Amino acid sequence: MKLSTQILVAFTLIILLSVADSYTNYMMSKKVQLNSHFLARSEEIIRTSNKTHKAIIEMQSAFRGYLLTDDHIFLDAYFKGLKIVPVLFTEQKIRIGNDNSQRKILDSIETFHAIWLKYSKDLIQARKEGPDSFDIFFENSMKKHVGKKINDDITKKFTRFDRIEYKRRRHHSEELLTSLRHTRTFSLIFLTLTIIVGVSSTFYIMQITTKRISSMVILAENISKGKFTSITDTRNDELTALASSLNSMSEKLDKNIHELKIRNAELNKFAYVVSHDLKAPIRGIHNVITWIEEDLDGELSAELKRYLAIIPQKTRRMEALINGLLDYARLNIKVPPENINTNNLVHEIADSIVPRNFKLEISNLPELFTERIKLEQVFANLISNAVKYTHREDAVIEINCRKYSDFYEFSVKDNGIGIAIEYHQKIFEIFQTLREQNEQESTGVGLAIVKKIIDDQQEHIIVISKVGLGSEFIFTWRNS
């Protein structure tokens, strides 16, 4: 499966689990809200029921008090109840709404109350009319416990009404607690699953990418160091494509470098053979001139002699150029590295090249494990240039070294004629000389050799110089 698809699957799973978690919590909050709403409504219903029952009982007490005492003051509470009770019934009906069973009980309470009202109204009327009519009622109704029965029925109905309401409240409370418990469990499960999926997919993706990316980094480092290795990646995703691109790049580079080495060797061989073969005809020309001068000395005009004298100059320069080319071509020879005391090496070179009138300052140089001939050649060429291009009484040559974590930085500095900035690159090309063409000593090969050695070692060289202010050649070198 593609890496991007795997990441997408993991994220989708995490998102789905989070959505499920949020949905559960949302549903729970809705349930809590509904239950809380129900409980609040139920509390109101019970309160109204109690209020109604209380008002009815107060009416009954007032009614009884009046009958016993014939004192009208008792009827105040009765009349008050007459006003309040119907209002309370209406309120209760609105609260109950579509609840048919409670509505039925409430309707029967209302009916009983209406019957009692009629009964009480007649008795009050009889009481007002005098003892005769009251006695008739007393005998017909009160003694037969008509009022008491109605009151008992009302009380029973209220008790039933309240019991049902309490039962429902209990049921809703339990339901609320259960749903809370369930939601907590589900929420915990979803959260745990989200964490498990999140952490494990992160680890999995890290595991399948980090290891492979680091092996690709190692491959890239190897390629940059000239080691054209390859990596094996059997998965079938984007990183596999990258790995195979790196592998084919490494393979191609290996092939090209190999071909380049062959071409280079051929070219060097060609340069060597050509320059070597060129030496013989030059020597021949030189000999012919010598013979002409020796054998025909008397017959040569002064002008011809002058012209003939130029030829050896030119052939010598040509020979110097060919020798330079030969040196350059010979550079390919590889010798095994050895332990070298750079201090001794540089002192030996300087002793043979630097004239006595030069002031030579050599700092403490390190021990190296490297190819002696190459390092020797670099120092020899740089020091001999410093000598060649410093024409002053107070000539100074300084050779220093700085140590870095895994390489050394050497510098050869003089206070000679310096080099104009526009030639800082050109001087490293073969046969590029800033001196007169006919100057015997100047062939433009020395720095080309230095550059070739430095490049072959994958080191770096720069020149810091200004005309008239001396030159400093800085190059890096590391142990083989």
Out of 106, 365, 419, 453, the only residue in the binding site for ligand ADP (CB under 6 A) is 419
How many amino acids of this chain bind ligand ADP (CB under 6 A)? 22
Residue closer to ligand ADP by CB (options 13, 417) is 417
Q: How far is the CB of 456 from ligand ADP (least distance, A)?
A: 17
Report in angstroms how near the CB of residue 426 gets to ligand ADP at its nearest: 8
Decide if residue 443 touches ligand ADP (CB under 6 A): yes
Q: Which stretch binds ligand ADP (CB under 6 A): 119-127, 137-145, 206-214, 411-419?
A: 411-419
Burial zone of 400 (CB within 10 Å; 0-12 exposed, 13-18 middle, 19+ buried): middle
Question: Residue 416, interface with ligand ADP (CB under 6 A)?
Answer: yes
**Of 161, 190, 328, 389, which lies in the binding site for ligand ADP, with binding defined by CB under 6 A?**
389
Name the segment binding ligand ADP (CB under 6 A); options: 167-175, 232-240, 402-410, 443-451: 443-451
From the CB of 274, what's the least distance to ligand ADP, in Å?
20
Residue 332 within binding range of ligand ADP, rule CB under 6 A: no
| Residue among 331, 417, 462, 474 that touches ligand ADP (CB under 6 A) | 417
Please identify, using beta-carbon distances, which residue of 12 and 425 lies nearer to ligand ADP: 425
- Give the full edge-to-edge strand order of the sheet including 471-477: 359-362, 396-403, 408-414, 471-477, 461-465
Return the residue of 414, 454, 461, 475 that touches ligand ADP, per CB under 6 A.
Answer: 414
- Does the footprint of ligand ADP cover residue 415 (CB under 6 A)? no
Quick one: which segment of 73-81, 123-131, 363-371, 415-423 binds ligand ADP (CB under 6 A)? 415-423
Nearest residue to ligand ADP, using CB? Answer: 446
Examine residue 378 and tell whether it contacts ligand ADP (CB under 6 A): no
Amino acid identity of residue 418, one-letter, is G
Q: How far is the CB of 260 from ligand ADP (least distance, A)?
A: 24
Question: Given candidates 18, 133, 215, 433, which one binds ligand ADP under the rule CB under 6 A?
Answer: 433
Rounded least distance, CB 430 to ligand ADP, Å: 8
Is there binding between residue 105 and ligand ADP (CB under 6 A)?
no
Q: Are 409 and 401 in contact (CB under 8 A)?
A: yes
Nearer to ligand ADP, 81 or 418 (CB): 418
Q: Does the protein bind ligand ADP through residue 35 (CB under 6 A)?
A: no
Decide: is 457 part of the binding site for ligand ADP (CB under 6 A): no
Q: Residue 215 or 432: which CB sits closer to ligand ADP? A: 432
Q: What is the 3 state secondary structure string of the chain?
A: CCHHHHHHHHHHHHHHHHHHHHHHHHHHHHHHHHHHHHHHHHHHHHHHHHHHHHHHHHHHHHHHHHHHHCCHHHHHHHHHHHHHHHHHHHHHHHHHCCCHHHHHHHHHHHHHHHHHHHHHHHHHHHHHHCHHHHHHHHHHHHCCCHHHHHHHHHHHHHHHHHHHHHHHHHHHHHHHHHHHHHHHHHHHHHHHHHHHHHHHHHHHHHHHHHHHHHHHHHHHHHHHCCCCCCCCCCCCCHHHHHHHHHHHHHHHHHHHHHHHHHHHHHHHHHHHHHHHHHHHHHHHHHHHHHHHHHHCHHHCCHHHHHHHHHHHHHHHHHHHHHHHHHHHHHCCCCCCCEEEEHHHHHHHHHHHHCCCCCEEEECCCCEEEECHHHHHHHHHHHHHHHHHCCCCCCCEEEEEEEECCCCEEEEEEECCCCCCHHHCCHHHCCCCCCCCCCCCCCCCCHHHHHHHHHHHCCCCEEEEECCCCCEEEEEEECCC
Among 243, 386, 453, 454, binds ligand ADP (CB under 6 A): 386
Kindly list the distances between the CA atom of residue 81 and the CA atoms of 63, 71, 111, in Å, as whole numbers in the listed order. Answer: 11, 17, 16
Q: Which C-beta is closer to ligand ADP: that of 147 or that of 444?
A: 444
Of the ranges 177-185, 288-296, 400-408, 439-447, which one interacts with ligand ADP (CB under 6 A)? Answer: 439-447
Exactly one of 219, 243, 448, 453 binds ligand ADP (CB under 6 A); which one? 448
Distance in angstroms (rounded) separating the CA atoms of residues 392 and 416:
7
Can residue 471 be called a binding residue for ligand ADP (CB under 6 A)?
Answer: yes
- Interface stretch with ligand ADP, choices 115-123, 157-165, 264-272, 410-418 (CB under 6 A): 410-418
Buried b (16+ CB within 10 A) or exposed e, 251-263: eeebeeeeeeeee
The answer to the question of residue 209 lying near ligand ADP (CB under 6 A) is no
Instruction: Please name the amino acid found at residue 309.
Output: A
Q: Looking at 136, 196, 309, 434, which residue binds ligand ADP (CB under 6 A)?
A: 434
Residue in 55, 77, 243, 427 binding ligand ADP, rule: CB under 6 A: 427
Q: What is the dihedral of CA 297, 302, 303, 307, to 10 degrees?
A: 50
> Nearer Cβ to ligand ADP, position 67 or 387?
387
Closer residue to ligand ADP in complex, CB, 147/446: 446
Q: Is 377 in the site for ligand ADP (CB under 6 A)?
A: no
Residues that bind ligand ADP (CB under 6 A): 385-386, 388-389, 414, 416-419, 427, 432-435, 442-448, 471
